[in-house]
Amino acid sequence: MRIRNAARIASSLCLVAPALVAQSPTAVQIPVRELAPPEAVSRDSVGYLYGVRELSDGRLLVNDAGARRLLLFDRSLQSAIVVADSGSGHGTSYGTRPTGIISYAGDTTLLVDLGARAFLVVSPDGRIVRVMSAPRPSDVSFMWNPGFGTPAFDPKGRLIYRAWLMPSMRGLMAGAGGEHGVASGVSGGSGSSGHGAAGGGGTNLTITPADSAPVLRADFDTRAVDTLAWVRIPRLRGTMTPIPGGMRMVPTINPLSTIDDWVALSDGSIAVLRGQDYHMEWIGADGVVTSSPKMPFDWKRLSREEKAAIVDSTRRQLERQGPLGVMGGGGSASAAAAASSPLPNPMMAMPHTMPVAPPPGAEREPPPRRLLPSDTARGVPGVVAPEEIPDYVPPILRPGNMKVDPQGNVWVLPSTSTAAGSGLRYDVIDRRGRIVQRVRLPIGRALAGFGANGTVYLTAHGSGGTRIERTRIK
Q: For residue range 141-156, what is the model confidence (pLDDT) as tens digits?
A: 999 999 999 999 999 9
Q: Which of 14, 128, 3 is closest to 413 using CA atoms?
A: 14
**pLDDT tens per residue, range 444-472:** 999 999 999 999 999 999 888 899 999 99
Rounded Cα distance between 121 and 108, Å, is 7
Rounded Cα distance between 417 and 192, Å, is 33
Rounded Cα distance between 353 and 202, Å, is 18
Residues 6 or more apart in contact with residue 287 via CB below 8 angstroms: 228
- Residue 379's φ and ψ, nearest 5 degrees, are 70, 25
Kindly state the average pLDDT of the residues 264-280.
97
**pLDDT tens per residue, range 212-268:** 999 999 999 999 999 999 999 987 777 777 777 666 778 888 989 999 999 999 999
Rounded Cα distance between 61 and 282, Å, is 29
- Residue 230's φ and ψ, nearest 5 degrees, are -120, 135
- Estimate the share of the chain in helix, then strand, then coil, as percent rounded to the nearest 5: 15, 35, 50
Kindly state the average pLDDT of the residues 56-61.
98
pLDDT for residue 453: 93
Kindly state the average pLDDT of the residues 44-69.
95
**pLDDT tens per residue, range 327-368:** 333 222 232 233 333 333 333 333 222 222 233 333 333 433
Which SS3 state, helix, strand or coil, does residue 265 take? coil
Q: What angle do CA 309, 311, 312 make, to 5 degrees?
A: 65
Computed from CA positions of residues 399, 47, 421, 302, in that sequence, does the dihedral angle turn out positive or negative?
negative
Neighbour-count burial for 22-52, b at 16+ CB within 10 Å, e otherwise: ebeeeeeeeeeeebeebebebeebbbbbbbb
Query: Which amino acid is it at 473?
Result: I
pLDDT for residue 338: 33
Q: Which of 150, 114, 133 is closest to 336 using CA atoms?
A: 114
Which SS3 state, helix, strand or coil, does residue 8 take? helix
What is the rounded average pLDDT for all residues in the chain?
Answer: 78
Bridging pattern class, strands 109-113 and 101-103? antiparallel
Which SS3 state, helix, strand or coil, does residue 234 take? coil
Domain range list for the chain: 6-472
Beta-bridged to residue 281, according to DSSP, are 272, 291
* Fold held by 6-472: Neuraminidase (2.120.10)
Confidence of residue 100 (pLDDT cuts 50, 70, 90): very high
Beta-bridged to residue 465, according to DSSP, are 462
Residues 6 or more apart in contact with residue 244 via CB below 8 angstroms: none
